[in-house]
Chains A and B, each alone.
Chain A
Amino acid sequence: MAEEFRHTMTSDEKLISDTLSGNITSFGTLVERYWNMVVGLAMSKIGEPSEAEDVAQESFLKAYSQLHCLRQPSRFAGWLSRITLQQCSNTIRGKIRCRSALGCKATGIEDLNTKAANPCNDRLTESQRHFIRERIQRLPEKFQKLIVMRFMGGLSAVQIAKQLGKRPGTVRVWLHRAYKILRKDLAPILEEVK
């Protein structure tokens, strides 16, 4: 599984320690490693790809400036995911505040979801991608995070458990439950793209 290979490279702990010693390039490697996971998490909350990328940028900047506060560098991905979800909440709150206080025309979540994302691989149509995102947004929050960390972050169940401070058995059970729900919900799309 190609996405797992990168985790055999320089460890997060080493990259964090190098960053804290002033080597900014090491932080760049961390960004590259977790970019897809962070954008995926943001998209699972916000829906619109370009806005999710903005949130991802902000999350990495926040992580960079707060890196000295990270007490367990081996749990960087879990810490980063919490920062990302916090940034998403701030963005959503900002939009609601803007909409109610100023009456400005913020884009509705449905409209946001239908904007073209221009992915390189167009095996799925935009409405299918929207459908998948919408189904994942319906999952319990702990399952959503797990699915994004597994597929977009390329982390295994054991690695996710370590990152989130959970027991591996618990994460395995959650992952299989989430899988079961998604297989049922996404069956029509999976049949179409077979």
Chain B
Amino acid sequence: MNCEKYKKLIEKYIEGAIGDEQVAELKSHAETCEQCREEFEQCRGLGDAVREAFSSRMSTEEGRASVMARLSAEPGITVRRAQYNLGWLAGRRASIAAGILLAIGLTLGFYMGKASTDKPTAAKVPMRVAKLDGTILVRHEGLDSWQVLKANSAIHLGDTFHSTAKSAFVLEMEDKSTIEVNQNSMLVLKFYNGETQFFLEYGRCTAALESPHSPFFIGTPHGRVEALGTEFTVTVE
């Protein structure tokens, strides 16, 4: 059997320069030719193994959501309109600015003595994730990275939750009271006057409180809202 043609196809397969029809042709030939089958399977196996060894724990959608959340949470990061003739000085300015930022970052990093870690340092709070729909991101206090909230994740003081589009979640407190956070919202657990308080940066959340309940507040950028009944909704535009 003339396998030269198929050897060339396998080379193209390695280079990623092969179409679906040619792959089908190659597979069909490999069924009858042991040598080509061995060769083709090795190539496929190698690709699969590398992909698995380097795979991210986050899906591409979760990766996208985490970067988008960082961009929306950090208004300092902006894109500038294209300028193709920046010239010598503009380059210099960028270098100087980068140098200053790097120096500030290094100094802060040095004094804080913070090793790179994804473990939260704040105390756990007695709450649990009662319901989780879609992708919810959480950032622990003092850390830069956003992680995907899991149903069994521990909740810490200072945690910031970001619900992406078409996502929602419910936190349940010790007394079975709940707070439901809708899509496109950001909720922070803050320590205020000796107790944990919810702070809604933006979006919408609904609290359902067990009766009787002690004074319950939700902070917003416009002021604090106190619960008078057992169920209420807060929206921050």
Residue contact A175 to B52, C-beta cutoff 8 Å: no
Contact A95/B116 with A64-B77, A182-B46 known, Cβ cut-off 8 Å: yes
> Cβ of A109 < 8 Å from any Cβ of B?
no
Q: Separation in Å of the A165 CB from the closest CB of chain B? A: 18
Q: Which residue of A lies closest to B11 (CB)?
A: A176
Return the CB mask of B170-194 against A: 1 if under 8 Å, else 0. 0000000000000000000000000
Scan residues 39-89 of chain A and give those whose CB is less than 8 A from a CB of chain B: 39-40, 43-44, 49-54, 56-58, 60-61, 64-65, 67-69, 71
Scan residues 64-84 of chain B and give those whose CB is less than 8 A from a CB of chain A: 64, 66-68, 70-71, 74, 77-84
What chain A residues lie within 8 Å of B47 (beta carbons)?
151
Residue contact B115 to A32, C-beta cutoff 8 Å: no
What chain B residues lie within 8 Å of A50 (beta carbons)?
57, 118
> Cβ of B103 < 8 Å from any Cβ of A?
no
Residue contact A179 to B57, C-beta cutoff 8 Å: no
Bound complex: CA of A87 vs CA of B152, how far in Å? 32
Residue contact A57 to B16, C-beta cutoff 8 Å: no
Contact A52/B56 with A60-B67, A61-B67 known, Cβ cut-off 8 Å: yes
Bound complex: CA of A75 vs CA of B95, how far in Å? 22
Q: List 29 A-B contacts (CB under 8 A).
A: A4-B16, A32-B60, A35-B64, A53-B145, A54-B118, A54-B144, A56-B56, A56-B63, A61-B70, A61-B71, A61-B77, A68-B81, A94-B116, A98-B109, A102-B113, A106-B115, A121-B55, A123-B52, A124-B53, A129-B53, A132-B50, A147-B50, A150-B16, A155-B16, A157-B15, A175-B15, A176-B14, A194-B41, A194-B45
Bound complex: CA of A64 vs CA of B17, how far in Å? 30
What chain B residues lie within 8 Å of A176 (beta carbons)?
11, 14
Contact A53/B54 with A39-B63, A151-B47 known, Cβ cut-off 8 Å: no
Q: Separation in Å of the A73 CB from the closest CB of chain B? A: 9
> Cβ of A133 < 8 Å from any Cβ of B?
yes
Contact A43/B54 with A57-B67, A61-B71 known, Cβ cut-off 8 Å: yes
- Neighbour of B53 across the interface among A51, A57, A133, CB < 8 A: A133
Residue contact A39 to B54, C-beta cutoff 8 Å: yes
> Cβ of B96 < 8 Å from any Cβ of A?
no
Interface residue total, chain B, C-beta cutoff 8 A: 55
Q: Which residue of A lies closest to B110 (CB)?
A: A101
What chain B residues lie within 8 Å of A193 (beta carbons)?
45, 49
What chain A residues lie within 8 Å of B67 (beta carbons)?
28, 31, 57, 60-61, 64
- Neighbour of B49 across the interface among A31, A49, A58, A124, CB < 8 A: A124
> Cβ of B51 < 8 Å from any Cβ of A?
yes
Q: Separation in Å of the B190 CB from the closest CB of chain A? A: 24
> Cβ of B28 < 8 Å from any Cβ of A?
no
Residue contact B51 to A152, C-beta cutoff 8 Å: yes
Q: Which residue of B lies closest to A118 (CB)?
A: B57
Residue contact B17 to A157, C-beta cutoff 8 Å: yes
> Cβ of B195 < 8 Å from any Cβ of A?
no
> Cβ of B233 < 8 Å from any Cβ of A?
no
What chain B residues lie within 8 Å of A56 (beta carbons)?
56, 63
> 13 additional contacts, CB 8 Å, given A35-B64, A179-B14, A186-B46?
A22-B79, A35-B58, A60-B67, A69-B94, A94-B116, A98-B116, A106-B115, A106-B116, A117-B57, A133-B53, A156-B15, A183-B42, A183-B46
> Cβ of A148 < 8 Å from any Cβ of B?
yes
Bound complex: CA of A40 vs CA of B51, how far in Å? 8
